């Protein structure tokens, strides 16, 4: 029997084993591969999505659990990489291999939606379910604070996710990798 839910603002129906984890429905049935498989046991956070706005590990969430609910994946967080968390991630040059970053970003976005000015302890607490083997934690900490600033300056963007009208296809953009930044590196140059 088909399971219906709202995926990135659009009605979605899938006819799969109801026990199938949402992660694999997204990745293999719907070919929405931005949400990653890391552990299958809710230990690493790579598969984090929002269900009704809550950061949730999709690898241990049977798809039947999301029937009638709103699911947002990294592809639906913004139409054009414009969510403050995404913008801050690019500004602070956070990703390395990038594999865990969808999950990191979804966890960070859920945190800031609830707690717009988190302390470092609150950030660490909210983000400690997300493993990064490249060790990008320091820049993630900085980027979350930067995103909080951006969100405070432009509160409309933070609520983009809640708007009903959301594109479902990623919009092509030119990666903006232009400016050399004045990050202070002691002893450099």
Partner 1 sequence: MSSAMLEVDRREFLKGVASGATGLVIGFYLPHGSQARAAAAPDALPFAPNAWIRIGTDDTVTLVIDKSEMGQGVVTSLSMLIAEELECGWKKIRTVFAPAAKEYANPEFGMQGTGGSTSVKGMWTPLRKAGAQAREMLIAAASGKWGVDKGVCRAEDSHVINTQTKERLSYGSLAEAAGKLPAPGEVTLKEPKQFRIVGKAMKRLDAADKTCGRAEFGIDVRQPGMLHAVVARCPVIGGKVASFNADKAKAVRGVRHVVRISSGVAVVADNTWSAMQGRDALEIKWEEGPNASLTSAAIGKMLEEGASKPGAAVARKEGDVTAGLANAARKIEAVYQAPFLAHATMEPMNCVAHVHAGGCDVWAPTQFQTVNQMTAAKIAGLKPEQVNIHTTFLGGGFGRRAEQDFVIEAVEISQSMGAPVQVTWSREDDMQHDFYRPASYSRFEAGLDADGWPVAWSNRIACPSIMSRFFPGSVKNGLDDSSVEGAADLPYAIPNILVDYQLTETGIPVGFWRSVGHSQNAFFSECFLDELAAASGKDPYQFRRRLLQKAPRHLGVLDLAATKAGWGEALPAGHSRGIAILSSFGSYVAEVAEVSVDKKNGEVRVHRVVCAVDCGRTVNPLTIEAQMQSGIVFGLTAALKGAITINKGRVEQGNFDDYQQLRMNEMPKIEVHIVPSDQPSSGIGEPGTPPIAPAVCNAIFAATGKRIRQLPIRAEELV
Return the residues of window 8-37 that contact partner 1 according to CB under 8 A: 16-17, 20-21, 24, 27-29, 31-37
DSSP 111-143: HHHH-SS--HHHHHHHHTTS--TT--HHHHHHH
Shortest spacing between CB 40 and partner 1, in angstroms: 6
Q: Which residues contact 171 (CB under 8 A, 6 or more apart)?
A: 79, 80
Provide, rounded to whole angstroms, the least separation between the CB of residue 64 and partner 1: 13
CB of 155 to partner 1, least distance (A): 21
In the chain, the DSSP E strands lie at 3-7, 10-14, 48-51, 54-57, 70-72
* CA–CA distance, 70 with 107 (Å, rounded to integer): 16
Q: Which is nearer to partner 1, 11 or 181 (CB)?
A: 181
Site for partner 1 in 111-140 (CB under 8 A): 123-125, 127-140
Q: Binders of partner 1 among 34-73, rule CB under 8 A?
A: 34-41, 43-44, 46, 73
Is 108 an interacting residue with respect to partner 1 (CB under 8 A)? Answer: no
């Amino acid at each position: 029997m088909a399971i219906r839910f709202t995926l990135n603002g659009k009605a979605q129906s899938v006819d799969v084993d109801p026990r199938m984890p949402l992660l694999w429905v997204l990745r293999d049935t719907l070919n929405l591969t931005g949400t990653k498989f890391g552990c299958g046991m809710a230990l690493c956070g790579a598969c984090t999505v929002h269900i009704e706005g809550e950061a949730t590990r999709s690898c241990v969430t049977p798809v039947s659990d999301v029937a009638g609910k709103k699911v947002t994946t990294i592809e639906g967080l913004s139409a054009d990489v414009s969510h403050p968390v995404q913008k801050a991630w690019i500004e602070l040059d956070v990703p390395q291999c990038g594999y865990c970053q969808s999950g990191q970003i979804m966890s960070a976005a859920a945190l800031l939606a609830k707690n717009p000015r988190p302390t470092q302890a609150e950030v660490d607490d909210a983000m400690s379910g997300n493993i990064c083997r490249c060790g990008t934690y320091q820049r993630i900490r900085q980027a979350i604070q930067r995103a909080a600033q951006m969100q405070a300056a432009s509160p409309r963007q933070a609520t983009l996710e809640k708007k009903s009208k959301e594109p479902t296809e990623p919009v092509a953009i030119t990666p903006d990798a232009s400016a050399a930044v004045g990050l202070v590196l002691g002893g450099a140059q």
